[in-house]
Amino acid sequence: MIYKLPKPHPIIPQPKPERLPKRKAMTLIAGFPCSDGILICADREESDGYARRAVHKITSFNLKNSNYVIAGAGRSSILSNAIPRIEMALRKAEECGDDLLETHRSIIGNSLQLIHEELIWSSKDPEASERFINLIIAASFETVRGEVVTALYGTDKDIVSADFYVFKGIGSDLAHYFADKLFVPSPNDRIWSIILATFIFREVRESIEGVGLGTEMVFLSGRKRGLRHEIGYEAIHDLEDGIISVRDALSTLWNNRVKLPVWLTEMKD
């Protein structure tokens, strides 16, 4: 008697396990010194690769004799750990009697070094290149004479550097290009800085994917310590409508001012 062998079970393909998507570092942040304070800016877009959502990327906190506004770009989970730790270190130093006007920069740098050693440099994650953060920090201090002193910093890993104006994150090269052409050191009050920042963020957003969902700004006063003006994305959107685009500005300028050489006007088919 001949028995038929059973048919083999069909091979059912199994889905390949994948890591949960990480939120992409799709952020542009900026800091502008003004004659009357410091302006900190950030876009609002965060993406996990599938969907976008609007988030706040600027944090503010006050100490007894100093005030801070911090914008962050990079891995959001590290930023949410780093900024509170910087605040805690500054508060602890103040409670111990430190003159933060003199020591705040080194305290921030030391905090960043510890954060990088613990959360970034020690990582064996195959996607470790995505584990980074950059900060832009504005600070104001009241001296013993009652004067207000401001400072603007950008960070590169654990290095805290004083900057004239600073951009960090995606699209920063294009933002620097516009600022290098248009930023006027003096007089440069908050109004001009807000207009310039609005223009730069809009132009970068139209050219670079990942800089979107509006722009938010915080102005830290250099005249009255502790005074901050928070400018929401809706107000910035309204301002954008009144600022001419690069394309329209150049088109108008070229049509009215470009003097064409004879060889160009006499070109024939």
Q: Do residues 113 and 157 make contact, with C-beta atoms less than 8 angstroms apart?
A: no
| Nearest CA among 99, 102, 69, 84 for reference residue 221 | 69
The pair of three-digit structure tokens given for residue 25, joined into one six-digit string: 């570092």
* Secondary element (H or E) of residue 167: strand 166-169
Helices (H), ranges, 96-229: 100-119, 172-182, 190-207
Domains of the chain as residue ranges with CATH: 28-265 (3.60.20.10)
Q: What is the reported pLDDT for 209?
A: 83
Question: What pTM does this model have?
Answer: 0.84
The pair of three-digit structure tokens given for residue 202, joined into one six-digit string: 């809009």
Q: What is the reported pLDDT for 124?
A: 72
Give residue for tokens 């988030």: 55
Give residue for tokens 């928070």: 230
Q: What is the reported pLDDT for 232?
A: 93
Phi/psi-derived region of residue 193, left when phi > 0, alpha when psi is between -120 and 50, beta in every other case: alpha
Asked if omega into 187 is within 30° of 0 (cis), the reply is yes
Tens digits of pLDDT across the chain (269 residues): 555 555 555 555 555 544 444 445 568 999 999 988 999 999 988 876 677 888 889 999 999 999 999 999 988 889 999 999 999 999 999 999 999 999 999 999 999 999 999 988 887 766 666 788 999 999 999 888 888 999 999 999 999 999 889 999 999 999 999 999 998 776 678 999 999 999 999 999 988 887 888 899 999 999 888 899 999 999 999 999 999 888 888 887 777 777 878 888 888 77
Q: What is the reported pLDDT for 186?
A: 67
